Amino acid sequence: METIHDNTCPRFEATLELVGRRWTGSVLQAAGRGARRFTEYRGMIEGISDRLLSQRLKELEAAGLIERTVIPTTPVQIRYRLAADGEALVAALMPLARWSSDRAGSRG
């Protein structure tokens, strides 16, 4: 019998910790819905502060889930988009999001 604490457990827990941070799910969802500019993310995610949005985008970029592109115009433009791993993560999270919604609905 395989133990629960195998080699994948710490990586899985790190992923859950990243995704479970406040607003991370919303940032990923906004990216999945087509947000590309900072103001688009802020407009889609009601209640998030600029500081926290910037922090989450940086964390997701560092994790390889969001790609950041700098367009050298005047003024400089910054664009974000889901990286391939980010797209895969959003797809993997969709059943959990549906489960959460269904569960909330069944509890009234």
Q: What is the pLDDT, as a whole number, of residue 14? A: 87
Tell me the C-alpha distance between 89 and 100, whole Å. Answer: 17
Q: What is the pLDDT, as a whole number, of residue 108? A: 61
- What CA dihedral angle connects 8, 12, 14 and 19, to 10 degrees? 160
Q: What is the pLDDT, as a whole number, of residue 8? A: 67
Task: Quickly tell me which residue has 């989450």 as its tokens.
Answer: 56
* pTM of the predicted model as reported, rounded to 2 decimal places: 0.84
All structural domains of the chain, each given as residue ranges with its CATH number in brackets, are: 10-98 (1.10.10.10)
Q: How large is the angle between the packed helices 24-32 and 84-106, nearest 10 degrees? A: 110
Q: What DSSP element (H or E) covers 36? A: none
